[in-house]
Copies of this chain bind each other. A is one copy, B any other.
């Protein structure tokens, strides 16, 4: 392991876990800055990338919005509210063999998939 354990890296990991679900890099930065005003946003981005590569956290790329970072690394699906933009977990079994339903792969080597549901969250429905 040529990675060092820095205070900042620990702070980022703790922040992702504290925010629990789908926080953006900025939200994570804002949380840390409250107690550690000297941290740089670049450091937050760097460590989010590093922790994602190491498998400590999982990056969820959201179409039409900032990437989100999930303390929960297991495969599961998400729903995005088209009104407020927030991302929610979806309570549905992961379809591990989904790629096998593809009729003609044209030689493409599939490694995984994501499903993103769209809709309106309960809060936004009331507005």
Chain A residues near B (Cβ < 8 Å): 61-64, 67, 79, 81-82, 88, 90-93, 98-99, 101-122, 125
Q: Which of B103, B109, B114, B120 contacts A92, CB < 8 Å? A: B103
- Separation in Å of the A32 CB from the closest CB of chain B? 24
- Known contacts A64-B61, A92-B103; A119/B110 CB under 8 A: yes
Residues on the B chain within 8 Å of A92, using CB: 101-103
Question: Cβ of B122 and Cβ of A108 under 8 Å apart?
Answer: yes
Residues on the B chain within 8 Å of A90, using CB: 102
Of the A-B pairs whose beta carbons lie under 8 Å apart in the complex, a sample of 6, sorted by A's number, is: A61-B64, A91-B106, A108-B121, A113-B115, A113-B116, A114-B116
Question: Cβ of A118 and Cβ of B122 under 8 Å apart?
Answer: no
- Separation in Å of the A56 CB from the closest CB of chain B? 20
In the bound complex, what is the Cα–Cα distance between A64 and B68 (angstroms)?
11
Q: Which of B64, B109, B116, B125 contacts A116, CB < 8 Å? A: B116
Residues on the B chain within 8 Å of A99, using CB: 117
Question: Cβ of A108 and Cβ of B88 under 8 Å apart?
Answer: yes
